[in-house]
Amino acid sequence: MTTLALTGDSILQRRLLSKSDPVIKPLFDLIRGCDAGFTNLEVLPNDYRGDPAFDSGGSHFGAPSWVLDDLAEAGFGMFSTATNHTLDYSISGLEYTLDQLDKRGLCHAGAGRHLEEARRAAYLTTPNATIGMVACGSTYTKGQEAARQTAAMQGRPGLNPLWPDSTYEVTAEQMAVVKEMAEGLGLEKFRQLRIGTGFAFEAPEGIFPLNGMNFRVGEQTRHVRHPNPKDLAAIIRWVEEAKLASDIALVSIHAHEHANEKDQPADFIVEFAHAVIDAGADLVVGHGPHLLRGMEIYKGKPIFYSLGNFIGQNEMVRQLPGESYDRFRVDDQLTPTQLYKQRTLDDQKGFPSDERYWQTVVPICRFEDDTLVDVEVHPASLGLGEQRHRRGRPRLAQGAEAESILNRFSSLSNQFGSTLEAGDNCARAVL
């Protein structure tokens, strides 16, 4: 029997004290009791070294490198590093982060010094099983993805990309307006000029490009996204390798993209999850939007479309570059905590104003060989309502709050045909 504890985004900035803080210790004892614990490393443990990027993943999430030691002590041995914050401190900051992970011998996947390294599977060996992990991200600014090496040139450090190919379907009448806008603004003339000078190419038949967006005529107005076939094939190559070289193959995806509601994954995420399980993955763990999405049992394998925030200390970042002050339109003389306080209008908007960002679940998956035999779901609270420097620490939820979290997760999972059976402050998936 192999047990895996799964969590979402870990934004750790202060000492965790997972073994001595009585409020949070029971949850971390649960994680430490498993064969392996997985979390998404949503910060850069770079000691604030590197070159602050102009375009961060929302806020520059540097952190002390000792957060890795605290997370390891908390029971985590598997780390996803493919996030929209991977290059918050540019290539130099990412390289420092990778060095910190490597010198501690930690199992990590999703970012690398070139594309093949970022794509590559990582392995954690336990007494009961070897677990292979492939991690990728779909939410990033173009240029933050790792680049491949050639015979003549080194690659570029970055994350393992899963780019969503995007098309906007519009009615014939709407397409006429799109083309009129492109002509009137000079954008179509400029596009044709670029094609004529060899810096751009003709669009596929039926596609009309406009300023980076692809339009085509359809029966209704909608946004259609699919996993980029080249990225998907490259990721599947390493999923197949992970399955060959381990007992259990885990795939992690960091994806903010959503459907009609933020707690509903975009269609391409579902398509991707199904594809990697078809290729041999035993489970898929999603994160990114900082709130819960549902669980699906697909061909007997669990897919968690988002496990939300697990540790939420994003307001405790100690140092911020000038671009952060410019982005949030605040004076440089404000301290980081004052900046975040102003950004949220003293908790009236953003994360502190919505309890969904402060509630999560921790699934414990049990496998016999590579067959899923049990999914035990534990609700957790991040302490919304506590002081800024104390909230964000996860603890097992109890009573009415536990029931509320499990009911919401159950409702989100029902959308994928999955059912949970409630127990005493926990639930089990019906397999």
Condensed to tens digits (0 to 9), the pLDDT of residues 17-76 reads: 999 999 999 999 999 999 999 999 999 999 999 999 988 888 999 999 999 999 999 999
Average pLDDT estimate for 233-243: 98
Average pLDDT in the chain: 96
The predicted pLDDT at position 186 comes to: 95
Q: Is the pLDDT of residue 245 over 90?
A: yes
The predicted pLDDT at position 393 comes to: 97
Q: Which domains does the chain have, with CATH numbers?
A: 2-150+230-429 (3.60.21.10), 172-217 (no CATH)
The predicted pLDDT at position 57 comes to: 85
Average pLDDT estimate for 328-332: 91
The predicted pLDDT at position 423 comes to: 87
Spatial neighbors of 113 by CB under 8 A, at least 6 apart, are 95, 98, 146, 155, 157
Average pLDDT estimate for 69-86: 98
In the chain, what percentage of residues exceed pLDDT 90?
Answer: 94
The predicted pLDDT at position 286 comes to: 98
User: pLDDT tens-digit profile of 99-153?
Assistant: 999 999 999 999 999 999 999 999 999 999 999 999 999 999 989 999 999 999 9
The predicted pLDDT at position 50 comes to: 95
Average pLDDT estimate for 207-236: 96
Average pLDDT estimate for 220-231: 97
User: pLDDT tens-digit profile of 368-410?
Assistant: 999 999 999 999 999 999 999 999 999 999 999 999 999 999 9
Tokens encoding 292: 């819960």
Average pLDDT estimate for 166-195: 95
Query: What's this model's pTM, rounded to 2 decimal places?
Result: 0.95
The predicted pLDDT at position 58 comes to: 86
